[in-house]
Amino acid sequence: MLTALESGRRGTQQVTVAGTTLTYDALLGAAAQVADDLRGTCRVAVLATPAMETVVAVVGALLAGVEVVPVPPDSGRAELDHVLADSSPDCWLGRAPAGTALPVTEVDVAARSAYRPREVDPGRTAFVLYTSGTTGLPKGVLLSRRAVAAGLDALAEAWAWTGEDVLAHGLPLFHVHGLILGVLGPLRVGGGLVHVGAGTPAAYAGAAEAGATMWFAVPTIWSRLAEAPEHAAALRGARLLVSGSAALPVPVFERLRELTGHEVVERYGMSETLITVATRADGVRQAGWVGVPVAGVETRLRDEAGDPVPHDGESVGRLEVRGATLFDGYLHRPEATAEAWTADGWFRTGDVAVVAPDGRHRIVGRESVDLIKSAGYRIGAGEIEAVLLGHPAVAECAVVGEPDADLGQRIVAHVVTRDAETAGPALGAELTAYVGAELSAHKRPREVRFVRTLPRNEMGKVQKSRLLGR
């Protein structure tokens, strides 16, 4: 799966994560030790801090054919309990949260063991990635080794990504973007990696000195770079700048063209599908458009009745995809899995899009207001509402994603308190912290608005469009 790393086709490239550098040989040696230590293990949880230890843990598990559950390092109580109970890992690999009841298998970045190739079924699960839905707790997305390999090869082809490239980014290591594309990508093609530790303009600019040729970022990071000309200018020598995980605003695309001399390449995907649509390195780069289906993937548009919507560059339809990069279903959720596919075998993305006659896609938005994308993170409104309703002061609540120039969407919680007297800034701060402690930092509302009532329709359902002023 990590072809270049495992095959010896490694050249002189190195992997740097938050200031720690390993040659390919050293990384393979440390990961081989992890693989040896995992004999007899089926599934591990990895507390995915942005550190070399995370990379060695994930690579070691993959070499051993062991399934990885990446866990956000700031996971709160409820989220952590849910992920562990749902995925039942055998142990933590590397760091573990304080007070954990699971056994811990240590990871030593300095260890070196001889690499012994193991035959692993390509259909075996590589990752159980937890991701939010519109309601309920996050679901575990089962991604096979075959799908990961197909997704990476398709992107390597689309972007002419080779062992000559050095990829730079500062993304979290528990999602598709930062972990699968951003760590496994270089190790499959044989290229270098500089994980800059954080998604700040200064850190991104610093990677130029380390020889970076490609940069990956979510739109929030690109917009912050567009407002930091001195740092953006450092990316002038890039071969390719890539944006994904949310829509890149057109003015940001244009400003970055002025500052860096590059037109950012956009691509589109999901935890469930990996990257299905991408602007090719040699393709048309147009602000607001995310490119064409990658090799092995097909897309189509359907209307509400399931009938075809023309690919005429104007008609908006529900985007459905199928192909080699798709997941195998949600862990323990046969009903949710079945609902995600159409009767004729296409995955319903939940996004609405336009497709041009030449095959280029423009993502128009999401079908549901209950899936929020904030700073590139996918967040379920229902998950936050359930936590808020668990707070004794909250009688009713509704969470929405309001447009935000920096974050794409910002989480706003509308709250009706049990006792009107308690409403105010102190309770707002308490509720924000409460969500952070139960779920994770990026799921905290940016604003808590206290209201007397929530707008509801005659069925009693909250009218979120009214909360959004639509």
Site map 168..197 versus ligand MLC, x via CB under 6 A = ---xx--xxxx-------------------
Q: Which does 391 bind (CB under 5 to 8 A by kind): ligand AMP, ligand MLC, none?
A: none
In this chain, which residue has its C-beta nearest to ligand MLC?
199
Q: Which residue has the tokens 């447009």?
A: 403
Footprint on residues 307-366 left by ligand MLC (CB under 6 A): none
Q: Measured between alpha carbons, how far is residue 361 from residues 99, 218, 264, 300, 316 in Å?
A: 47, 18, 15, 10, 11
Of 350 and 428, which has the nearer Cβ to ligand AMP? 350
Q: How many CA atoms lie within 13 A of 370 on its CB side?
A: 16
Q: Which residue has the tokens 């298998």?
A: 105
b/e burial code for range 6-24 (CB count within 10 A of at least 16 → b): beeebeebbbbbbeeebeb
Q: Which does 444 bind (CB under 5 to 8 A by kind): ligand MLC, ligand AMP, none?
A: ligand MLC
Q: Which residue has the tokens 């458009």?
A: 289
396, β-bridge pairs: 416
* 344 DSSP 8-state letter: T
Q: Which does 349 bind (CB under 5 to 8 A by kind): ligand MLC, ligand AMP, none?
A: ligand AMP
| Strands 20-23 and 371-374, sheet pairing | unpaired
Instruction: State how far the Cα of 454 lies from the Cα of 452, in Å rounded to an integer.
Output: 7
Q: Does 219 bind ligand MLC (CB under 6 A)?
A: no
Q: How far is the CB of 115 from ligand MLC (least distance, A)?
A: 29
Where along the sequence are the contacts to ligand AMP (CB under 6 A)?
131, 176, 244-247, 266-271, 290, 349-351, 363, 366, 373, 378
Which listed range, 39-47, 141-149, 374-382, 390-398, lies at the site for ligand MLC (CB under 6 A)?
374-382
Longest dimension (CA), the chain: 67
Q: How far is the CB of 343 from ligand MLC (least distance, A)?
A: 27
Q: Does 221 bind ligand MLC (CB under 6 A)?
A: yes
Q: How far is the CB of 176 from ligand MLC (least distance, A)?
A: 4
Burial of 259 (0-12, 13-18, 19+ CB in 10 A): buried
Q: Which does 366 bind (CB under 5 to 8 A by kind): ligand AMP, ligand MLC, none?
A: ligand AMP
Footprint on residues 103-162 left by ligand MLC (CB under 6 A): none
**Residues at the site binding ligand MLC, with contacts judged by CB under 6 A:** 171-172, 175-178, 199, 218, 220-221, 244-245, 269-270, 375-377, 432, 441-442, 444-446
